[in-house]
Amino acid sequence: MTNKPFIKFRIMKCIMLCTILLFTLLVHAQKFHFGAKLDASYSALDGKGVQNKYSPGFQAGGFFEYNITKHWAIQPELLYTWSQYKKSSDFMTYYNNYGRSSANEKIKLAYISIPLLVRFNLNKLISVMAGPQYSHLVFDDENLLKSGRQAFKNAAWSANLGAQVNLSSVGFYARYNRGLSDINNIDNRYEWKSDQIQVGVAVRIM
- 2 lies in some domain: no
39 by Cβ neighbours in 10 Å (0-12 / 13-18 / 19+) ranks as: buried
- 197 lies in some domain: yes
- Is residue 32 within 8 A of residue 66, CB to CB? The reply is yes
Compute the distance between CA of residue 34 and CA of residue 75 in angstroms, rounded to an integer.
9
What is the pLDDT, as a whole number, of residue 25? 44
| CATH number where 130 lies | 2.40.160.20
Structural domain containing residue 143: 33-204
- 6 lies in some domain: no
Q: What is the pTM of this model?
A: 0.82
From first to last of its 206 residues, the chain has per-residue pLDDT tens of 455 555 555 656 665 665 555 445 444 545 788 899 999 999 999 999 999 999 999 999 999 998 888 899 999 999 999 999 999 999 999 999 889 989 999 999 999 999 999 999 999 899 999 999 999 999 999 999 998 899 999 999 999 999 999 998 999 999 999 999 999 999 889 999 999 999 999 999 87
DSSP helix/strand/coil, 2: coil
- 19 lies in some domain: no
- 190 lies in some domain: yes
DSSP 77-118: EEEEEEEEEEB-TTHHHH-TTTB-TT--SEEEEEEEEEEEEE
- 175 lies in some domain: yes
- 116 lies in some domain: yes
How many independent structural domains does the chain possess? 1
189: nearest Cα among 96, 78, 68, 63: 96
- 27 lies in some domain: no
